[in-house]
Amino acid sequence: MSPPWFHVRPVAPDVWLLAEPSHVNSWLVAGRDRAVLVDTGLGIAPIRPVVEAVCSRPVDVVNTHAHVDHVGGNAEFSRVSAHPSSTTGIDPAERASYLGWMREVLDAAAAYRELDRRYFHLLSADSDPRPLPDGLERWVDPGPPPGPEPEPLADGDVLDLGGRTLTVLHTPGHSPDSLCLLDDRAGVLFAGDTVNTGPIYAQAPECDLGAFAASTARLAALAPEVGLVAMSHFGRGVAEPRYLVDVADAFDRLVTGDPSVVLRPARDCAGDAVSEAVFDPCSVLLPPGWSPDR
């Protein structure tokens, strides 16, 4: 029998990771009265039953941004919030492209598992990819229904869950609508795609490197208030607060034109050619041909 599509585990009191392993993480955080689901994933499998299995409180959704892998389950919920610049409607070509990437990941997984078991011991249930469900053609087109029109969230808004609040941080860079949420009780920062432990995507036309640098510097300044960083992608979904400083330093080196930054050709998950700026703790994907003097 194939494992379920989602892997769920608690990471802090009343905070759960809902991983679609090797693809995207959603996060559930609960207070006394209600809960917030931070993103709803790809929409390949229903996420609401997974949420209800671990939390009996009413659940609202906050989208960290409107990309295909963060809004797929929105229609399963009656109340969704996002930044006002968030857009609705996703081209099926984006899902088709991502499906190709998922198949590439699975093709590579068997060899990687063997190497990991023998030498590296890094894979976990959070990151080990699951077999793809049947019927993904309908996930591509027509795709998941879009869900309710998001209610607007602004920088500094506070979401009261009862004995626990989440502060909204507008962190543009990856996209104009990117948000993070700071759990003011437990110090958990839900970072969306502003911070990740694999390559951080800053290569798309809607990305803004200067805004990205400002946003990551803002998060780095909050590191003393943060207990852990909860991220959306790659094998390490949780990082220590110091990582916020490391990422901000990487973006600062990019925007100040540090000539020592190592660049190499790479491809993103859509298969598009990009430049990858390589740093010790992370890397940043940039438009092809990017150079520090641009």
Residue range 141-166, pLDDT digits in tens: 999 998 999 999 999 999 999 999 99
Cα atoms in the 13 Å half-sphere on the side-chain side of 25: 30
CA-nearest of 72, 67, 23, 71 to 45 is 72
Residue 111 lies in a domain: no
Which residue has better confidence, 294 or 136? 136
Which pair of tokens denotes residue 222? 């909050």
Residue 246 and residue 218 in contact, taking contact as beta carbons nearer than 8 Å: no
- Asked whether residue 1 carries a pLDDT value surpassing 60, the answer given is no
In a domain, residue 293? The reply is no
Banded model confidence at residue 182, pLDDT cuts 50, 70, 90: very high
The predicted-structure confidence for 20-54, as pLDDT tens digits, reads as follows 999 999 999 999 999 999 999 999 999 999 999 99
Query: Which CATH number characterizes residue 164's domain?
Result: 3.60.15.10
- Give the pLDDT of residue 90: 82
Question: In this structure, what is the dihedral angle of CA atoms 255, 259, 261, 266, given to the nearest 10 degrees?
Answer: 90
- The 10s digit of each residue's pLDDT in 185-198 is 899 999 999 999 99
Q: Tell me, what's the pLDDT at 86?
A: 74
Which tokens go with 281?
A: 């703790």
pLDDT at residue 292, rounded to an integer:
80
Asked if residue 287 lies in contact with residue 274, where contact means CB atoms within 8 angstroms, the answer is: yes
Q: Does a structural domain hold residue 13?
A: yes
Neighbours of 87 (CB within 10 A): 14
**Nearest Cα to 27, choosing from 232, 216, 183, 240?**
232
pLDDT at 36: 98
207, burial (CB in 10 Å: exposed 0-12, middle 13-18, buried 19+)? buried
Domain assignment of residue 245, yes or no: yes
Characterize 27-39 residue by residue with b for buried, 16 or more Cβ atoms within 10 angstroms of its Cβ, and e for exposed.
Answer: bbbbbeebbbbbb
Q: Report if residue 180 sits inside a domain.
A: yes
The predicted structure's pLDDT at residue 294: 57
Peptide bond just before 142 cis, omega within 30 deg: yes
Q: Which residues contact 56 (CB under 8 A, 6 or more apart)?
A: none
- What pLDDT is stored for residue 3 in this prediction? 80
Residue 124 lies in a domain: no
DSSP H or E run through 188: strand 188-190
What is the tens place of the pLDDT at every residue in 226-252? Answer: 999 999 999 889 999 999 999 999 999
pLDDT of residue 229: 98
d(CA 194, CA 19): 18
Contact residues for 61 (Cβ-Cβ < 8 A; gap 6+): 36, 37, 39, 40, 74, 77, 79, 80, 81, 147
The whole-number pLDDT of residue 2 equals 65
Residue 31 belongs to some domain of the structure: yes
pTM of the model: 0.96
Going across the sheet that includes 7-12, the strands are 7-12, 15-20, 24-30, 35-38, 59-62, 80-82, 151-152
Q: Is residue 171 part of a domain?
A: yes
Q: What is the pLDDT of residue 185?
A: 87
| Separation of alpha carbons 33 and 88, rounded Å | 29
Domain assignment of residue 41, given as a range = 7-89+143-286
3-state secondary structure 153-184: CCCCCEEECCCCEEEEEECCCCCCCCEEEEEC
**Contact residues for 103 (Cβ-Cβ < 8 A; gap 6+):** 132
Q: What is the pLDDT of residue 112?
A: 96
Looking at the predicted structure, is the pLDDT value of residue 88 above 70? Answer: no
- Sign, CA dihedral 184-174-293-271, equals positive
Residue-wise pLDDT tens digits, 95-118 = 999 999 999 999 999 999 999 999
Structural domain count of the chain: 1
